[in-house]
Amino acid sequence: MGLARRCSHHKGNQYLGFAQALDEDMPHTLDRLVTGDLTEWRATLLVRETACLSREDRRIVDRRLCGDPATLAGKGDKQIAAAALAIAIELDTEALVRRARKATADRCVTSRPAPDTMAYVTALLPVKQAVTVHATLMRDAAAVVAAGDHRTKAQVMADLLVERVTGLSTATAVPMTVDIVISDEALLGTKPAAAEVPGYGPIPADLVKHWLHDTDATIELRRLYANPTTGALTAMESKSRCFPKGMLRMTRFRDRTCRTPWCGAPIKHGDHPKSVAQGGDTTYENSAGLCEACNYAKEADGWSTTLDQRIPGELHSYTITTPTGHQHTSTAPPLPTPLPLPRNRIDAWFPTKRVHLEYIEAA
């Protein structure tokens, strides 16, 4: 479903469950969607708020809210969701209580990219814990601002969160490793260009320079050689079934996010497009970075992957065939085109830094 709709597998699963619920349990909601009385999102809200009910109770909600187009006329997202939830509580309070108790097991912390080289860290918590965390940060931030700190209350709250989670004295003293793919021309010259943080996306090259000059840590530059025309990365080989760390690192640099088209999730597994059971070798050519869900999904019956024939220097690609016979091509993104990088240029650019330079030779 994700491949067919050109979206991630997670979204594909949501669309499938949404379609099944409308078709089997909520015919009036489906009618309102078809006639344009409901948007797709508002229909999704009705499906979501009634998911824990029996089929009979779900049809009652469907009939009471969507049997007459006038019932929901003029109502917004929150009003529609609240109306569905109110009827659901009326019909089966125990089901709602069971769902609330089960939701506690889904607590988690996630992160995702945000605009302007920022990122969201989201914690899904039981309401009493979430309210306590937020109230505590607000109280302590207000005290810091009242003491004369120049930061805003929101900025202090964000910094306090980082300090308390990491145990550091200040939010700016985070020891970290950030992999950044950037051409040497953009790093050492004046050419405007974008760098790439694997798993995040493009960032301005000037921001990378700012980070590097402001850090007191050792800088490690790893030279990734690329074909000057296509940007394809070099290859390595191994006789091991599991990918060696160096090769898996190269695969992550090359693929950046899950190689399943339209997925975009962070890479979790190193995969053999041609499986070991089918005679596939543990080579850089026969490697792909996948998220956990996509790696498991491709092992299901009816799925197959075929490495595309290519001449040396072309971008790595393979073809995925789904159980329905549809084919989708996965092609690795190109790297920045490299230029000669003499050691004296690095020393000149980082005169006060400890720089470790590691070369990965070209094939």
Per-residue pLDDT tens digits for 70-115: 999 889 999 999 999 999 999 998 988 888 888 888 899 988 888 8
User: What mean pLDDT comes out for the span 129-142?
Assistant: 95
pLDDT of 233 reads: 58
Task: Indicate the range of 42-46, 131-135, 191-195, 262-266 predicted with least confidence.
Answer: 191-195
User: What mean pLDDT comes out for the span 148-172?
Assistant: 89
Beta pairing partners, 317: 331
Q: Hey, what amino acid is at 26?
A: M
Question: What is the chain's length?
Answer: 363
User: What mean pLDDT comes out for the span 44-50?
Assistant: 94
DSSP state for residue 324 in the 8-state scheme: T
CA 355 – CA 213 distance, rounded (Å): 12
Q: Buried (b) or exposed (e) across 88-112, using 16+ Cβ within 10 A?
A: beebbeebbeeeeeeeeeeeeeeee
How much is the CA Rg of the chain, to the nearest whole Å? 26
Q: Is 240 exposed, middle or buried (0-12, 13-18, 19+ CB in 10 A)?
A: exposed
* 359: phi then psi, degrees, rounded to nearest 5: -100, 135
pLDDT of 184 reads: 67
CA 222 – CA 220 distance, rounded (Å): 6
User: What mean pLDDT comes out for the span 321-332?
Assistant: 93
Q: Could you tell me the pLDDT band of residue 241, with boundaries at 50, 70 and 90?
A: low
Beta pairing partners, 330: 318
